[in-house]
């Protein structure tokens, strides 16, 4: 009886953690997000697109044709200079369009709007996002006005990318979104498959305490991102600190329980 009681005591925190703290659907409130202050730096000049803040860095022709890249969540990128203030980009995975993006600098060159459409691999629901950035420093001489260093100020996304549902049972947790991104994993630190994502192949979970979970995401066996996810004491808010292991960018997102 004592051995059984001891085993139950050890299991209880995990079961309570899984069944109460995270269970339910959560919606990210982007107005409460804190984006990494690290700049995004790239240039389009003399027919070449250079992204020095990308990891790995990207250096390809900006001729509108698919150019191979390595180490990214996509296989090819096509960059086209539309005019002196606008560029268009397309990323493909296995020959299929993964996303399209338009970057437009303001007339005074102090801000930039980036509009992106993402096509999740397991869904017919595209994700639309609009990001506003402010310039840091000057436009490189002779380059497209979108070139230079930028800092994220504001992000807007369609609701299907803001909703996430957690469901726990014992020491196992599952996660899913309306766009088809999902995984089921045990909280044992081992890698489990991620579905519906270009960015990640696997996830590993570790319980920090009753209200905090750490998720490590890999692609091609390489650690890409670590998320520390904490539910508030009243169970109404979830705070996720996302750390990119490739770029060192750290951003914080807050979600409300629905």
Q: Which residue has the tokens 């953690």?
A: 17
- Does pLDDT of 213 surpass 80? yes
Q: What angle do CA 18, 21, 26 make, to 5 degrees?
A: 110
Categorize the per-residue pLDDT at 90 as very low, low, confident or very high, splitting at 50, 70 and 90: very high
List the structure tokens of 107.
């007339």
List the structure tokens of 16.
């309570």
pLDDT of residue 7: 34
Categorize the per-residue pLDDT at 171 as very low, low, confident or very high, splitting at 50, 70 and 90: confident
Closest residue by Cα to residue 137 from 150, 126, 156: 150
Give the pLDDT confidence of 92-132 residue by residue, as tens digits.
999 999 999 999 999 999 999 999 999 999 899 999 999 99
pLDDT of residue 196: 95
Closest residue by Cα to residue 165 from 179, 156, 175: 175
- Helix (H) or strand (E) segment spanning residue 109: none
pLDDT of residue 19: 54
> Collapsing DSSP states into helix, strand and coil, what is residue 104?
strand
- Does pLDDT of 15 surpass 60? no
Percent of the chain at pLDDT exceeding 70: 92
List the domain boundaries for the chain: 12-34+160-257, 40-157
**Average pLDDT value for residue range 33-38:** 97
CATH 3.40.720.10, applies to 12-34+160-257: no
């Amino acid at each position: 009886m004592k051995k059984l009681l001891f085993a139950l005591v050890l299991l209880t925190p995990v079961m309570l953690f899984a069944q109460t703290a995270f269970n339910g659907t959560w919606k990210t409130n982007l107005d409460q997000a804190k984006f990494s202050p690290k700049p995004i730096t790239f240039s389009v000049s003399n027919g070449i697109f250079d992204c020095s803040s990308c990891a790995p860095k990207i250096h390809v022709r900006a001729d509108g044709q698919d150019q191979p890249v390595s180490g990214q969540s996509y296989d090819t990128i096509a960059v086209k200079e539309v005019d002196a203030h606008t560029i268009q980009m397309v990323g493909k995975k296995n020959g299929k369009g993964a996303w399209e993006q338009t970057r437009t600098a303001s007339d005074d060159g102090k801000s930039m709007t980036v509009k992106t459409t993402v096509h999740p691999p397991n869904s017919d629901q595209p994700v639309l996002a609009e990001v506003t950035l402010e310039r840091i420093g000057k436009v490189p001489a002779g380059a497209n006005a979108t070139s230079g260093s930028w800092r994220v100020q504001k992000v807007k996304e369609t609701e299907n990318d803001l909703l996430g549902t957690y469901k726990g049972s014992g020491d196992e947790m599952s996660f899913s979104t309306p766009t088809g991104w999902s995984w089921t994993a045990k909280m044992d630190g081992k890698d489990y498959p991620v579905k519906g994502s270009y960015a990640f192949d696997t996830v590993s979970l570790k319980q920090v305490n009753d209200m905090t979970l750490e998720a490590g995401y890999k692609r091609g066996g390489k650690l890409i991102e670590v998320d520390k996810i904490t539910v508030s004491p009243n169970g109404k808010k979830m705070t996720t600190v996302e750390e990119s292991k490739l770029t060192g960018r750290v951003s914080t997102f807050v979600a409300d329980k629905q």
